[in-house]
Amino acid sequence: MKSALKTPLENKAVYSIIRANNGIDARRVRGVLRKILVIVGPTAVGKSALAVRLAKKWSGEVISADSRQIYKGLDIGTGKITKKEMMGIPHHMLDVADQKKQFNVSEYQKQVREKLEDIFSRGRLPIIVGGTGLYIKAIVNDVVFPNVTPNKKLRARLEKKTVEQLFLMLKKLDSKRAKTIDAQNPRRLVRAIEIAKALGKVPPYQNMPRKDIQPLLIGLTLSKAKLQKKITIRLFARIRRQMIEEVRRLHKRGLPWKRMEELGLEYRYVSRYLRGFLSKKEMLEKLKSEIWQYAKRQMTWFGRDKRVVWFKQNEKRAIDATVKKFL
């Protein structure tokens, strides 16, 4: 029995617009209603720029999958895309959460699923872009997150421990999770330990792919030398854009140093510099090292997903051909 549900792409006028914009047979675009593009890869590789370019070409809207760009006010340190860089393309899941409060992946999953349905209903192509692997998994897979309530007594004990001690605890409890976690993030370490103690281990997040959507996962990559160079160039560009002043301003407005530590990377090490724990040179060296380690963890995470089709950053024609065939 044919469904009575009508969609925007069943309108001939919309088909004509898509055909005119993209030079393809509009009938082949019908499947885009439940298809999504997902752009993954390490930090600084150029994911955001690719997402905007593909969105302009294929009538898309971008959904951020970055666990820190969801927070209001964390702009320079997270490398949040600017209005100018968006080039008129709608972007979602930026500036949606209070920086002082924790925004968990379950809430992200709920909000993005609603965004996807909205974008689908308007006949647009969702393009998810970001380097937070768990956020990506929460959308493209049927993931049910551990229903483990916070253990206040355990957390109180764990808060007294250093990140090194927390990491060793997690490693003993669940060595597999320890390989992928940010070893310098006390909030994530505490939560992982909490789950592991309650369930025996942190359940794997790589569950079965969703059946109601069809994703194309595009991975961007660069050589080690080129990526390290880009990370360094970007770091100094952020310093010139007054990243240190941003952190100082956030603290003056009430963001505690403890929360800066939880937010990680730029906010962690710039805050330590502002508190006098590090010299500026030490801060920069630490950041270069830690961002590179983060990039390697991202590659480890995404490298396990066999659905990802990998491209070098400059392979524009190959990427375009793959996307066109997919759609």
pTM above 0.85, yes or no: no
Assess whether pLDDT exceeds 80 at residue 206.
no
**E strand segments, the chain:** 35-40, 60-64, 91-92, 125-129, 214-221, 309-312
In Å, the largest CA–CA distance within the chain is 70
The pLDDT, as a whole number, for residue 17 is 42
Q: Which residue did the predictor score with more confidence, 120 or 201?
A: 120
Q: Which fold has domain 9-145+205-326?
A: Rossmann fold (3.40.50)
pLDDT band at 33 (very low <50, low <70, confident <90, very high): low
Instruction: Report the mean per-residue pLDDT for the chain.
Output: 88
Task: Please compute the mean of the pLDDT values over residues 21-34 and round it to a whole number.
Answer: 46
Q: In what order do the strands lie in the sheet with 35-40?
A: 91-92, 60-64, 125-129, 35-40, 214-221, 309-312
In 10 A of CB 137, how many CB atoms?
A: 21
pLDDT band at 39 (very low <50, low <70, confident <90, very high): very high
For 58, the 3-state DSSP assignment is coil
Distances 315 to 24, 50, 57, 321, 324 between C-alpha atoms, Å: 21, 11, 16, 10, 14
pLDDT tens digits, 84-99:
999 999 999 999 999 9
Q: What percent of the chain has pLDDT over 90?
A: 74
The pLDDT, as a whole number, for residue 123 is 93
Q: Which of 179, 134, 181, 144 is nearest to 40 (CA)?
A: 134
One-letter amino acid at 124 equals: R
The pLDDT, as a whole number, for residue 323 is 97
Q: Are 202 and 196 in contact (CB under 8 A)?
A: yes
Please state the domain extents for the chain. Answer: 9-145+205-326, 152-199
Q: Which residue did the predictor score with more confidence, 146 or 17?
A: 146
Q: Which helix (H) or strand (E) holds 291?
A: helix 280-303
CA distance from start to end of the chain: 26
